[in-house]
Amino acid sequence: MIVSLETRTPCQGDGCSRPIRMIMTATVVINKRSMRTTGTLIGAFEFIRCPDCGTEVQRGGEIPREPYRLVAEDAVKVAEYRKRKWGVEDTGAAVERVAG
């Protein structure tokens, strides 16, 4: 199933911490209680430069960010799929599990 994931990363400018949204599209394998991405994630930031301070958004390497979350419309599709396939009521929001 192809879904959209979103996350937020704080601006890296001096004294600025405005959250900047990032949207990604990914193919996922959905299991009864979990899901995982397969292949490459394709995404884009909401802004190229921070609207508050003008600092360019860092796009390469590791960036501090919140865990990925399913976009609301796709969370509904995943819940419907789980209910149809396994009869599981999916009440929780799908969030990336971060090791650590």
pLDDT digits (tens, 9 = 90+) for 20-79: 999 999 999 998 888 888 888 899 999 999 999 999 988 877 888 888 888 989 988 988
pLDDT digits (tens, 9 = 90+) for 70-87: 898 998 898 899 999 998
Q: Around 76, how many Cα atoms within 13 Å sit in the side-chain half-sphere?
A: 2
- Mean pLDDT, the chain, rounded, equals 86
pTM, to two decimals: 0.77
* pLDDT of 99 higher than 60: no
| Main-chain dihedrals φ then ψ at residue 15, nearest 5 degrees | 75, 5
Residue 43 near residue 58 (C-beta atoms within 8 A):
no
Mean pLDDT, residues 4-11: 92
